[in-house]
Amino acid sequence: MERPSVRRSAVVLDAWPVLLALVLCLPLLAHGGYPLARDLVFVPRQPWTLASVGLGDGAPRAVPLDAVVSVLTSVVDGGWLARVAIPVILATAGWGTHRLVPGLGTVARLTAGGFAVWNPFVVERLALGQWALLAGYAAVPWLLVAARRYRESGAPGDLGATAAWLGLASLTPTGGALGALAVLSGGAGRSSRTAWLVLVCVALQLPWLVPSVVGAAAATSDPAGVDAFTAGSEGQVGVLTALLGLGGIWDANSVPGTRDSWWSTVTALLVVAALVLARRTLVRVRGRDDTVRLAVLAGVGLLLAFLSSIPGGGDLVRWLVESVPGAGLLRDSQKFLAPLAVLAAVSFAALAHLVDEAARRHGAEVVLAAGLVAVPLPFLLVPDGAASVWPTVRPVTYPAGLDRVAGIVDDGPAGASLATLPWRSYRGFGWGNGLISSDPATRWFDRDVLASDDLRVGPTTIRGESVRGQALGRALRSGPVADALRDQHVTWALVYLDDPDAPDLDLSGLTAAYSDADLALYRVPGATPAATSAGTAARVATGLADGLALVLVAAGSMLAARRRGKAARAPVG
Amino acid sequence: MIPFGSKLGEGGTVPLLLKFLLPVIAGGLTASVTMYGVVYSQTKAPATNPASQPILVYGDQS
């Protein structure tokens, strides 16, 4: 039977990350509507299409995430899903990180859990709207624990737990890569167990690997994205300092104001100091082997994040991106910093533990003073974290016209495609929250939706991977809209009327099907549906890959739950 | 867990008055730095004139 103080401490440890996650997501929780800003897009109900499993026209970048969201929004509204999923993912990072250091005191573990939720890496990625990448980050500490247990026990339940957490990480390709690195760094050991871990890692990457090989989109990416998405400097110092301070995202608009000052240098110095000073304590509470494994994982992540910024490294990444299918993942390099954020969190915890031990020699008041600095440390290092994230997570109210357009399009010819105009990938909406966002139409309609997948980053345009999208873009630039759409087998054109370029569109030759103050839908006379982008072989291969991953995660979850149940029932002592 | 005040003034090197003041100083420092950061970030001028930036871009390099 646990003592009440132990139970109370466990509740506080898990409640602190929840509180911080709720603060970061406050506008999303306090307002009605749906999040729509930057890469953060939720719609009321996301239909299941070929694009959901990576067989659309674009690269399988949000696979199997789109399939999972599609299934979930068939039973729960997308707005509610966002309100649950995003805070829970953030809190999961904190819950997992304080469990990496169970041997430390409550103040130290509060520091670990809080720092894992509120740090420059999380704030910058959430400000960019990349909530699903944060699922990969949140899974890292859990994967380290599960993989270590499997390495030591070889029990199927521990392998199952590893598969289940890797399933969460693998909602996106980058998260899957991060998760696989965490599994192998935490679990590699005896050859047969390592082989099982490798098999699980490979199997759970198949849902995006298979469509990227058999799908219609180009398997390689535009190397121009390497320079555009390389890690950036913050404040007056260089990229490495920004990365050591857990920042360095490529996008200036996602950087908190304080990170653009000497504050980012202070954070970097504190992180390095914590890594150095906490080393012995971490070795004592986690063991030398596990500490080294975490350090190696964080070091590899830092190297990947910094690689395109060092002489020769940029050329190497450009070559990989241009030549190796799937290597486009390496373009936005700073996201590989996730394991370093976990290591920094447990290092700050170990440092807090040392300070706490020293303070105890001087009485409870000094312990309280130390706790008043250690526990709110995340706020001190990114005091404007919430101010940076809140504009992104503030939800919008979608115009009613989108549902009316969906009714017309979805009742129209099967196999028809819809293109959104003016032709661009990220848009500003008069009814939005003031930030540009990915086009919600790509997730709204039960039809193939074509939108530009070229990305503008400052003055640079990064070419997208959609072969059909590129062809339509060229046709729209070179001739009348109606001819371009008809030639590319596009049946519908959805025009966002509040786009600054909308008045310049020549829509002659198109038949108006719907119009209101925000949207206009046109039908393209004479357009015939395009041949499907995915043949039977591609569908079967992708279906098998998705099925295998689903079975693996489901079976893993059951095995892990059974093992947890047995452990809970086992007599103490 | 040490009961609050149980070792007040015993055996430690921290003077009695400072023991009372330390939590106040630590809390005040934490609150001040946080408030300064929030105010600084909200009142800081952007590095470039937003009017000169191209609109509808995915992002701008930092």
Residue B4 at interface with chain A, using a CB cutoff of 8 Å: yes
Contact list, A256 vs chain B (CB under 8 Å): 41
Measured distance CA(A181)–CA(A144) in Å, rounded: 10
- Predicted local distance difference test score (pLDDT) of residue A563: 87
pLDDT at B8: 46
Whether B57 has its CB under 8 Å from any CB of chain A: the answer is yes
- Cross-chain residue pair A457–B54, CB shorter than 8 Å: no
CA distances from A243 to A334, A335, A468 (A): 8, 10, 37
- A241 touching B (Cβ < 8 Å): no
Nearest C-alpha of chain A: how many angstroms from B14?
6
Which residues have C-beta within 8 Å of that of residue A159, sequence separation ≥ 6? A150, A193, A196, A197, A200, A556, A559
- Of A258, A467, A367, the residue nearest B12 (C-alpha): A367
Q: How many alpha carbons fall within 13 Å on the CB side of residue A365? A: 20
A389 contacts on B by Cβ (under 8 Å) = none
User: How far B62 CA lies from chain A's nearest CA (Å)?
Assistant: 4
How far is the alpha carbon of A377 from chain B, nearest alpha carbon, in Å? Answer: 8
- Alpha carbon distance A134, A90 (integer Å): 7
Residue A561 C-alpha from the chain's centroid: 26
| Chain B positions in Cβ-Cβ contact with residue A253 (cut-off 8 Å) | 59-60
Q: Which residue of A has its CA nearest to B29?
A: A373
Q: Which of residues 357-376 of A touch B (CB under 8 A)?
A: 360-370, 372-373, 376
**In this structure, what token pair is assigned to residue A182?**
């965490």
Tokens of A410: 């979805």
Contact state of A362 with B12 under an 8 Å Cβ cutoff: yes
For residue A499, count CB atoms less than 10 angstroms from its CB and return exposed for 0-12, middle for 13-18, buried for 19 or more: buried
Of B26, B59, B62, the CB nearest to A233: B62
Q: Is the peptide bond before A422 cis (omega within 30 degrees of 0)?
A: yes
Chain segment B45-58, per-residue pLDDT in tens? 766 666 655 567 88
> Cβ contact (<8 Å) for A428 and B56?
yes
Q: Is A565 left (phi over 0), alpha (psi -120 to 50) or beta?
A: alpha
Whether A374 contacts A111, CB under 8 Å: yes
pLDDT, position A12: 94
Cα–Cα separations (whole angstroms), residue A462 to A54, A208, A220, A247, A318: 20, 21, 13, 23, 13
> CA A100, CA A107: separation in Å to the nearest integer?
14
Tokens of A247: 């920042």
CA distance A494 to A485: 12
Q: How far is A365 from chain B (nearest CA, A)?
A: 6
Q: Which residues of B touch A380 (CB under 8 A)?
A: 30, 33-34, 37
Q: Please check whether residue A31 touches B, CB under 8 A.
A: no
B46 and A CB contact within 8 Å: no
Which residues contact residue A126 at a Cβ distance below 8 angstroms, ignoring those fewer than 6 apart? A24, A86, A90, A134, A389, A392, A393
* Structure token pair of residue A386: 């919430």
Token representation of residue A140: 């890292």
- Please tell me the predicted confidence (pLDDT) of residue B49: 63
- Mind telling me how many Å the CA of A435 is from chain B's nearest CA? 9
CA distance A189 to A210: 28
Q: Distance between CA A336 and CA A181 in Å, rounded?
A: 10
With an 8 Å Cβ cutoff, are A253 and B59 in contact?
yes
**What is the chain B residue with the closest CA to A361?**
B12
pLDDT recorded at residue B2: 46
Q: Which residue of A lies nearest to B43 if distances are taken between CA atoms? A: A257
Contacts with B37 from chain A: Cβ below 8 Å: 258, 263, 380, 382-384
pTM of the model: 0.93
> Given CB atoms, is A91 within the 8 Å cutoff of chain B?
no
The whole-angstrom separation of Cα A61 and Cα A212 is 9
- pLDDT confidence bin for B12, thresholds 50/70/90: low
Distance from CA of A519 to the nearest CA of B (A): 18
- Residue B23 near chain A (CB below 8 Å): yes
From first to last of the 573 residues of chain A, give the pLDDT tens digit: 556 666 778 899 999 999 999 999 999 999 999 999 999 999 999 999 999 999 988 889 899 999 999 999 999 999 999 999 999 999 999 999 999 999 999 999 999 999 999 999 999 999 999 999 999 999 999 999 999 999 999 999 999 999 999 999 999 999 999 999 999 999 998 889 999 999 999 999 999 999 999 988 887 889 999 999 999 999 888 999 999 999 999 999 999 999 988 889 999 999 999 999 999 999 999 999 999 999 999 999 999 999 999 999 999 999 999 998 888 899 999 999 999 999 999 999 999 999 999 988 888 888 888 888 888 889 889 999 999 999 999 999 999 999 999 999 999 998 899 999 999 999 999 999 999 999 999 999 999 999 999 999 988 899 999 999 999 999 999 989 999 999 999 999 999 999 999 999 999 999 999 999 999 999 999 999 887 778 899 999 999 999 999 999 999 999 999 988 887 777 654
A 249-308 → B contacts, CB under 8 A: 249-258, 260-261, 263
As given in the structure block, the two tokens for residue A45 are 């109900």
